[in-house]
Amino acid sequence: MENLGEFLRQQRESKNVSIEELATRTRIAVRFIKLIEENQFDQLPNAVSARGFLRSYARCLGLDEVPILNRFSEATQPSEPPPVTGKEEPVPSYIQRKQPDRLPFPLWAAFSVVGVIVLFLVLAFVIPKFRQAPPPPPEEAPTSRSEE
């Protein structure tokens, strides 16, 4: 049974499409097309990119992409799963710093002092305005009386 890369190369050549033309149509780099046709999928950036390249390659040649992707999955699957041991190694995790529930003493004390000072300043400007005596009533202008 021929491998996937050989199959794709034969299909491309049977349709008289050059690698450069295929690269232009699919926007896949020539080096990646060569790696695909040489069946060197492990040299491609990653499996997701490889699947995308194969999908574009198949569509460009008018091939059904599903069987090609299935063959790719079969070709890249490990032959047997890794042995399961009774001991599992813990997965390293990122240490998250616990946020303190309340601010440290000096910081909350500083905020309290600043708050009290601001309160006193506001009151110092507001209270005197309410205590000012109302302006004196306007003086009545003397009216001229005619002498009788």
Predicted TM-score (pTM) of this structure = 0.52
What token pair was written down for 146?
A: 């005619």
Helix (H, G, I), strand (E, B), or coil: what is residue 112?
helix
Q: Per-residue pLDDT tens for 115-139?
A: 999 999 998 888 777 766 666 777 7
Q: Per-residue pLDDT tens for 16-54?
A: 999 999 999 999 999 999 999 998 888 888 889 999 999
Any idea where the domains of the chain sit in the sequence?
4-76
Task: Say yes or no: domain 4-76 is CATH 1.10.260.40.
Answer: yes
